[in-house]
Amino acid sequence: MRAQSPTQKFIPTSSITTRLISSPHSNIRDQRADSSVNSRVTKITTYQTRPKTTITTTTTYRPVIETRTVRLCTDKRCQGHEQHIEQLTYENQQLHQRIYELQQEIEQISICQRQHTNTYSTEMENIKKLYEESQINHQSEIQYLTQEINQYKTQFQHSDDQVKYLTQQLKKQSVNENLENQIALLTTEMERLNMIIIEKNNYIEQLTQKLNELDSELINKENIIENLENNSSKLRKQYQEACNQVVLIRSELDRQLETIQQQERNIFLLNQDKQAIEQYNFLLEQKEQQLQQLRGNIQLLEMKLQEQQTTIQAQYKEIDNLMLRLDSANQEVDYYQTESDEIQKCRSLLQSELEVSKLENSKLQEQITKLKQQSTDLNKTIDKLKSDLNQQLSSIQQDFNFELQSKNDELESNKSQYQLELNVISKKFQEENYSLRINNEDLQNELNQLNNVNQILQSTLDEKINEISNLKNQQSQLYSEYNTYKLKFQEENHKLKLEVEDALITTNQLQQKKNQLESTITELNLLINSLQQQITQQSNEINTLKYKSGEEYSTLRIQIEQLDQTNIQLQTIRSRLQKDYDEKLNELKELQDKFNLFKQTTQQQIKDLEKKIYEYEEKLSLLSSEIQRMLFQINQKNDLIQEQSILQDENQREIQSLKAQLQAIQLQAEDQQKRLEQQMNEALTQQREKLFRFESENLSFKSFIEEQNHVIESLSKQIDGMTGDLKYQQQLEEELSKKNSFLSKQLTEFQTENAENQFKVDHLLVENKALKQELEIRIDTESELKFKLDKLIEELAKKQQQINEFEQRIREYESNQSNEVVQFEEKITYYQNEVETWKKKFIVLNKDYHKTQEDLMMVQAEFDAFKQRGNATLVKESTSFEVRKSSLYKENIINTKSSQVSQSNQYIVRPLQDINI
């Protein structure tokens, strides 16, 4: 059973009427569910079934006094709490569902990221493979070019050997000049012989003419040799230039391995012209089919481009919808800003109320300090009284009545003051408790509102995150489609380039060998040009698509930045609201701490008052014991007085006996007797006065004791009432503490839930930031890859241009080289023909020379025979001369045969050796 409050003794609980309360702050407090609002007038209904208390609250506005009926809820779980718990469970379920949905979305995003990473990894692996294959091809090209360079070196060395051989031949022809000198000597000798042989003179003149012709021919040969030397110097210069060009072209020829390999293949194909022509016709048919396929692919690409344009238009529409949503979100943000301004106003009002409560607390603390001073003063006076009682017992008895009366008056006045102060304190405590409860309810309402606002913001954030994720997915899909199309275009371009190169090579080879296929080649060139134009158009379209996609990407990036800014603004608003919420929680904690401190101080004051009351009771018990001791002393004194009276009677008897005994000595002892009588009379008067004093003191003590007993009874009654009030207040405080503990538990639960939700939200925000960073990193990597791909495409285009230039140069070089080879072959054939003609002439001359030599020998034989007729010695000489001549003739014949055999492969016949005459 609940203890009844002292107000229930005077106010019946069943007949509490409703009041209309006007308060300046009712527009904040009238949002409660148990009050019906009508323009700052609240109507508080009452229930007659349960006990209620009326609490008067004084606000800072003194003319306005609020009286409220408070319904004290004894149930541990009322309907409001259960509904609140159900709402919290429903919200927790919604939060769990939302977290589950977010986890699913995160898993989907992670799957998409893995797919993107796999695609990127495959693309990078393909690129690496292409790069490795290109390196392998370059190495093979370099090896092939080195082989060809070695072949060219061998060819040039062979040409150098030929030049050296020609120089040797020229040197040998210089030897022929010596032969001419010898021939001149022979002519002189022949002239001398002509003096001897007159008959053969004509023949010798013919020989001389022939020799002159030979001289002229030799002069022509020398001129030809000089021309050959000039040509050889030119060829050397050209060879040096060709070497320089080879050195320059080595770096360029490294990139032209494929063309050279294809040339070798085509050289092999030139040996099989018919098969190559049939294969070429077959290839033409395949190319026509490929062209048809390309046309079909182009039509499909046009269809896909139209679909992409429709999708882009749909994306533009979605972007417009997003812009509308952003406008609505901005409006919501403005609305939330207005609400935050209102919350700040409410916060300012709450701060003003807090300041008022602080002022009241300061006043209460001043009153408490005053009470403490009074208690210290009382303790001092009690100490003084104890010292006075210990020092002067005799003087205290007279002054004790006055002091006790004054103390009783002071105690009564202090007691009345204490009662008034306790009533005021209890009223203020109740008012503050009620105001704190109202503030708690208002803060709970504000917390609910803030939670609702937070939920709305979370829902909007989730929606925007979903929209952003959808946009990113669409963007990734578009980018993946764009990459696939780009790869297809690149593959087709590569195939077309290879086909174009093959066609060019085949056309060049066929143009060199067979001019009949020129018409077909021109048609192919036209087709290739048309294909190149289509490729250029497609590349232009791709560039336009790239530009459009870049613009769309930039617009999407701008929109994402705007959304990030809105998210940042929402986060700032949320942080502000969170700060306000934290500040309010801190203020609540401060208020709770102040309430607890005030409660502790009031409990300590109550305990101090109880201690003081106990001390006063002890003091009263001590006083009662002292009074009893004084009464005991008075009784002892009365007994002494009775004993003294008995002693006086005995003394009188003794005196009478002494009178009888001392009648004889009366004369002697009259003086002494008179003295003794005077002394006894004085002692009796003193004793009588003492007795009268003791009796008056006894009466006064009895009256004082009776008065003190009445005072003690009244104090005990007041103490009983105060103890009942204190017990009732303790019960109220316990109930309030239970409610506060329950509310604090709920607050802690809400705070923990809010902290968990906030932790989850922060975790999700961190994950969102991480995902954004990953997206930005991937976007950067994609942009870098795009940039690298563009660079590679540009480099490929440059390389293709360089390849085309090098092909043109190679063609020019080959044409020049073929022309030079043709010229060189023509020169060689010309020189070979000349050598053969000179060889024939030389053979004829040699035959004529041998004939003339034979004739000379015959003439010499005749001359010797003619001399032998005149002188025998001359005959001997002629015989020796004849033998010598015959040996020479044989040697000449053998030498001519050996020279013809050894120099038949070198196309030039050596001249005759020296003739020793």
Report the alpha-carbon distance of residue 435 to residue 358 in Å, rounded: 13
| Mean pLDDT computed over 436-442 | 69
**Banded model confidence at residue 586, pLDDT cuts 50, 70, 90:** confident
Helix axes 393-513, 666-870, angle to 10 degrees: 10
To the nearest whole number, what is the mean pLDDT of the chain?
65
Block residue for tokens 């590349």:
539
Residue 57 has pLDDT above 80, yes or no: no
- Give the best-scoring range by mean pLDDT among 56-65, 684-693, 888-897: 684-693
Minimum mean pLDDT range among 92-96, 124-128, 242-246? 242-246
Count the neighbouring beta carbons within 10 Å of the beta carbon of residue 222: 15
Asked whether 46 and 16 are in contact (CB, 8 A), the reply is: yes
Check: pTM over 0.85? Answer yes or no.
Answer: no
Q: According to the model, what pLDDT value does residue 771 have? A: 75
Q: Between residues 881 and 698, which one has the greater pLDDT?
A: 698
**pLDDT band (50, 70, 90) for residue 81:** low
Q: Is residue 687 within 8 Å of residue 644, measured between CB atoms?
A: yes
What is the Cα–Cα distance from 581 to 574, expressed in whole angstroms? 10
Residue-by-residue DSSP string for 313-369: HHHHHHHHHHHHHHHHHHHHHHHHHHHHHHHHHHHHHHHHHHHHHHHHHHHHHHHHH
Report the C-alpha gap between 18 and 388 in whole angstroms.
59
Separation in Å, CA 270 to CA 259, 431, 514, 516, 808: 16, 116, 10, 15, 21
State how far the Cα of 400 lies from the Cα of 407, in Å rounded to an integer: 10
As a whole number of angstroms, the distance between CA 828 and CA 158 comes to: 14
- Over 50: is that where the pLDDT of 786 sits? yes
For a pLDDT cut of 70, what percent of the chain falls above it?
Answer: 29
As a whole number, mean pLDDT of residues 597-604 equals: 70
* pLDDT at residue 42 is higher than 60: no
Cβ atoms of residues 256 and 803 within 8 Å: yes
Average pLDDT for 376-393: 63
- Confidence check: pLDDT of 581 > 60: yes
Residue 668 has pLDDT above 70, yes or no: no
Among all chains, which residue has been given the structure tokens 């105001």? 435
Answer whether 432's CB lies under 8 Å from 357's CB: yes
DSSP secondary structure string for all residues of 643-698: HHHHHHHHHHHHHHHHHHHHSTTHHHHHHHHHHHHHHHHHHHHHHHHHHHHHHHHH
pLDDT at 381 > cutoff 70: no
H or E stretch covering 536: helix 518-662
Residue 251 neighbours by CB under 8 Å, 6+ apart: none
- H or E segment to which residue 54 belongs: strand 53-58
CA-based torsion, 539, 541, 547, 553: positive or negative = negative
730-782 pLDDT tens trace: 677 677 667 767 777 777 777 777 777 777 777 777 777 777 777 777 777 77
476 pLDDT tier (thresholds 50, 70, 90): low
Question: Residue 460: its pLDDT value, please?
Answer: 66
pLDDT digits (tens, 9 = 90+) for 167-190: 676 666 666 666 666 666 766 666
Dihedral angle over CA of 82, 87, 89, 95, nearest 10: -170
pLDDT given for residue 452 in this prediction: 72
Distance CA 44, CA 34 (A): 8
**51 vs 71: CA distance, rounded Å:** 8
Q: State the SS3 of 234-296.
A: HHHHHHHHHHHHHHHHHHHHCCCHHHHHHHHHHHHHHCCHHHHHHHHHHHHHHHHHHHHHHHH
| Res 67: pLDDT | 41
3-state secondary structure of 60: coil
Q: Cβ of 570: how many Cβ atoms within 10 Å? A: 19
Q: pLDDT confidence of 658, banded at 50, 70, 90?
A: low
The per-residue pLDDT for 29 is 42
So what's the pLDDT on residue 757? Answer: 72
DSSP secondary structure letters along 157-191: HHHHHHHHHHHHHHHHHHHHHHHHHHHHHHHHHHH
Over the stretch 489-499, which tens digit does the pLDDT of each residue have? 667 667 666 76
Q: Which of 5, 433, 498 has its CA nearest to residue 261?
A: 498
Q: How many CA atoms lie within 13 A of 735 on its CB side?
A: 17
Alpha-carbon radius of gyration of the chain: 71
* pLDDT higher than threshold 80 for residue 858: yes
The helix (H) or strand (E) run that includes residue 53 is strand 53-58
pLDDT for position 485: 62
Residue 906 has pLDDT above 60, yes or no: no
- Asked whether residue 55 carries a pLDDT value surpassing 50, the answer given is no
Q: What is the 3-state secondary structure (H, E, C) of 63-129?
A: CCEEEEEECCCCCCCCHHHHHHHHHHHHHHHHHHHHHHHHHHHHHHHHHHHHHHHHHHHHHHHHHHH
- 853 pLDDT exceeds 70? yes
pLDDT of 511 > 80? The answer is no
Domain ranges across the chain: 6-71, 73-254
pLDDT at 815 over 60: yes
Confidence bin at 30 (pLDDT 50/70/90): very low
* Cα–Cα distance measured from residue 519 to residue 526, given in angstroms and rounded to the nearest whole number: 11
Which contacts qualify for 520-524: CB closer than 8 Å, 24 or more apart?
520/284, 524/284, 524/287
**Ordered DSSP codes for 687-746:** HHHHHHHHHHHHHHHHHHHHHHHHHHHHHHHHHHHHHHHHHHHHHHHHHHHHHHHHHHHH
Rounded to the nearest 5 degrees, what angle is found at the Cα of 464, between the Cα atoms of 460 and 470? 145
- SS3 category, 58: strand
User: Closest Cα to residue 776, out of 611, 784, 78?
Assistant: 784
Q: Rounded to the nearest 5°, which phi and psi values hold at 38?
A: -150, 85
At residue 302, does pLDDT exceed 80? no
What stretch of H or E contains 43? strand 41-43
Long-range contacts (CB closer than 8 Å, 24 or more residues apart) made by 371-375: 371/418, 371/421, 371/605, 374/414, 375/608, 375/612
Q: Given this model, what pLDDT does residue 96 score?
A: 74
Q: Residue 365: what pLDDT? A: 65
In terms of average pLDDT, the best of 853-857, 886-890, 907-911 is 853-857
Regarding beta strands 41-43 and 20-22, do their DSSP bridges make them parallel or antiparallel, or are they unpaired? antiparallel
CA distance 311 to 641: 131
Residue 604 has pLDDT above 70, yes or no: yes
Task: State the DSSP string of 591-610.
Answer: HHHHHHHHHHHHHHHHHHHH
| Residue count (the chain) | 917
pLDDT over 60 (residue 204): no
Tokens 């120099």 identify what position? 903
The residue among 177, 207, 210 whose CA lies nearest residue 194 is 207
Does residue 885 carry a pLDDT above 70? no
CA distance 408 to 687: 34
What CA–CA distance (Å, rounded) separates 94 from 760? Answer: 14
- Per-residue pLDDT at 141: 67
Task: Please determine, for residue 893, whether its predicted confidence score (pLDDT) is greater than 50.
Answer: no
Q: Summarize the confidence of residues 97-111 as an average pLDDT.
A: 77
**What confidence score (pLDDT) does residue 196 get?**
62
